[in-house]
Amino acid sequence: MHAHESIIDLIGDTPLVRLRHVSKGLAPTIVAKLESFNPGGSAKDRIALRMILAAEEAGLLRPGGTIVEPTSGNTGVGLALVAQQRGYRCVFTCPDKVSADKIAVLRAYGADVRVCPAAVPVDHPDSYRSTAARLAAEIDGAYSPNQYANPANPDSHYHTTGPEIWTQTEGRVTHFVAGVGTGGTISGTGRYLKEVSRGRVRIVGADPEGSVYSGGTGRPYVVEGVGQPSLPRSYDPEVADDIIAVSDQDSIGMTQRLAREEGILTGGSGGMAVAAALAVARGLGPKDVVVVLIPDSGRGYLSKIFSAEWTQRFGFTDQPGSGIRVGALL
């Protein structure tokens, strides 16, 4: 019988698929690595697994322990499913601006979610970050993984995402493009690909215009899950050869095109990464192989990027109902 022992055995080994339509007219082979094929639906399953195993090994997490983390997104889902399978409780905190759907997903997996006021400064005792810190101190056997400072975050990509891409492309990958949020994906995957290719593979980060990785001030942008107002420890500035800033308009436009033309439903950061990958590919030849990481599915963004009302409110489309506007990059 071919059956896996647990859902967490399905983490990783995600497929590559060619982007044949949005790449028309470009010479290189362009393939996407689809992280939505992880059981929790995103690349964050990989880091959740490694952060929890590392904490067990270090004796920071003991049987019956509690994982406490300020998170509402994909990292929470990954932590929740790995935690339940390995016998831990999860307590997450999030600001009250987080959508009800995201909170419902975490609760469905059995996590205890504490919703905190968004309208207070981060250092206020009631903020979601302060609340997580207080709970971590109060709860017996609590452990906070903190993906922004945890070496297991980039390490998970060094040990899994990087080798998978090398094997799947039979060593033909010439460029790797990924969005930068905590920096774990680009730092870990990029470091592996550079080592194994002896520096031949070019590593390119995609960043929302305004974020610090591409030299911005940290001003607000719409795309979720990527960019930072300041550099976190999980980001290794030595790895990326280039960082491309992508506007919200181009990210949203490409996200919509991926759904309609490639049948790939992803979020704004996936569209952002593909927009950057196409910009990279424009200067390359037919022997080049560009791998772009698409981190999650678009299911969590239906009421935003895929809603005509929302895109019009932000001015992302001038064609009511069509929802498609080709970005300036193309």
Residue 95: helix, strand or coil by DSSP? strand
Sheet containing 175-179: order of strands: 16-18, 29-34, 289-294, 175-179, 202-208, 242-246
In the complex, the smallest distance separating the C-beta of residue 228 from ligand PMP, rounded to whole angstroms, is 9
Nearer to ligand PMP, 103 or 277 (CB): 277
Closest to 291 measured CA to CA, from 188, 164, 187, 183: 164
In the complex, the smallest distance separating the C-beta of residue 129 from ligand PMP, rounded to whole angstroms, is 17
Give 114's strand partners.
Answer: 93
Q: Alpha helix (H) ranges present in 141-247? A: 152-156, 162-168, 184-196
Return d(Cα 245, Cα 210) in angstroms, integer: 8
Nearer to ligand PMP, 81 or 142 (CB): 81
Nearer to ligand PMP, 162 or 179 (CB): 179
Tally of CA atoms within 13 A in the half-sphere of 213 that contains its CB: 32
Q: Which of 33, 44, 102, 194 is catalytic?
A: 44
Tally of CA atoms within 13 A in the half-sphere of 178 that contains its CB: 30
Which residues make up the interface to ligand PMP (CB under 6 A)? 43, 178-185, 225-226, 269-270, 273, 293, 295
C-beta atoms surrounding 236 within 10 Å: 15
Three-state secondary structure along 242-297? EEEEECHHHHHHHHHHHHHHHCCCCCHHHHHHHHHHHHHHCCCCCCCEEEEEECEC
In the complex, the smallest distance separating the C-beta of residue 227 from ligand PMP, rounded to whole angstroms, is 9
Return d(Cα 242, Cα 190) in angstroms, integer: 12
Angle formed at CA 33 by CA 28 and CA 36, multiple of 5 degrees: 150
Active site residue 287: no
Nearer to ligand PMP, 39 or 181 (CB): 181
In the complex, the smallest distance separating the C-beta of residue 120 from ligand PMP, rounded to whole angstroms, is 25
In the complex, the smallest distance separating the C-beta of residue 38 from ligand PMP, rounded to whole angstroms, is 12
In the complex, the smallest distance separating the C-beta of residue 141 from ligand PMP, rounded to whole angstroms, is 27
Residue at 233: amino acid letter: R
**316 is written with which tokens?**
């992302």
Catalytic residue IDs: 44
